[in-house]
Amino acid sequence: MIATSDSGGKGSQQGGRMVRTGWLLALAGLLWLPASTAAQEATTVFVVRHAERASSETDSPLSEVGRTRASALAHALASARIDAIFTSQFKRTQETAAPLAAATGLAAQTVDARDQEALVKAIAALPPGSRVLVVSHSNLVPVIVTRLSGQPVPEMTEAEFDWLYQVTMTTPGRGTVIPLRYGGPSAKH
């Protein structure tokens, strides 16, 4: 209990400061609470392009370099506590996610590459605080990142395989983006 004196002396000044300090600490605690709750409710989504493929066939598997990159992705996200993995219907996206899926025991969920709305809805339906990997395609990664965060990112070239975008999504279409790289640098064509 804080004691104050009516005498207007030094005790009253100290008591007043203690009361003000107590109120400031309480106010700071209230201001901190919503921010920490919002951070806990954000969904973290890691979005990558599939790794290098063996050929230009429509449903080509990964090349040896691509399998190495897929392992590097699993290593890069090993401590990320991934809760869900999404790929497209193509082998190269599924094979890129496979090492992380095996390490986490998660089954990758397939969403048609043409249906970005279904992908965003599936991610938004996950529990708050989820951590997700999305493996897609060079022409779709910027679209996915923008739809999740509202933040535009540059288009990818056919020679870029090492970008990893970390999206912190508060609601679909609102969030922040951190562009990262993983594995070895992409080969220049």
Question: pLDDT tens digits, residue range 74-105?
Answer: 999 999 999 999 999 999 999 999 999 999 99
Predicted pLDDT of residue 188: 61
Residues 6+ apart with CB under 8 A from 20: none
Q: Are strands 163-171 and 43-49 parallel, antiparallel or unpaired?
A: antiparallel
Predicted pLDDT of residue 7: 45
Continuous H helices in 64-169: 64-76, 91-104, 116-124, 141-149
Could you report the per-residue pLDDT of 147-188, keeping only the tens digit for each? 999 999 999 999 999 999 999 999 999 999 999 999 999 876
Predicted pLDDT of residue 40: 56
Spacing of C-alpha 104 from chain mean position: 17
**Whole-Å CA distances, 140 to 35, 158, 160, 187:** 32, 12, 13, 20
Residue 4 has pLDDT above 50, yes or no: no
Mean pLDDT value across residues 107-113: 98
Residues 6+ apart with CB under 8 A from 183: 51, 68, 69, 72, 73, 76, 161, 162
Provide the edge-to-edge strand list for the sheet that holds 84-87: 109-110, 84-87, 131-136, 43-49, 163-171, 174-181
Could you report the per-residue pLDDT of 22-81, keeping only the tens digit for each? 333 333 343 344 444 444 589 999 999 999 999 999 999 999 999 999 999 999 999 999
Residue 5 has pLDDT above 60, yes or no: no
Residue 8 has pLDDT above 60, yes or no: no
Secondary structure of residue 153 in the 3-state scheme? coil
Alpha-carbon distance of 108 to 55, in angstroms, equals 23
CA trace torsion 63, 51, 98, 44 (10° rounding): 170
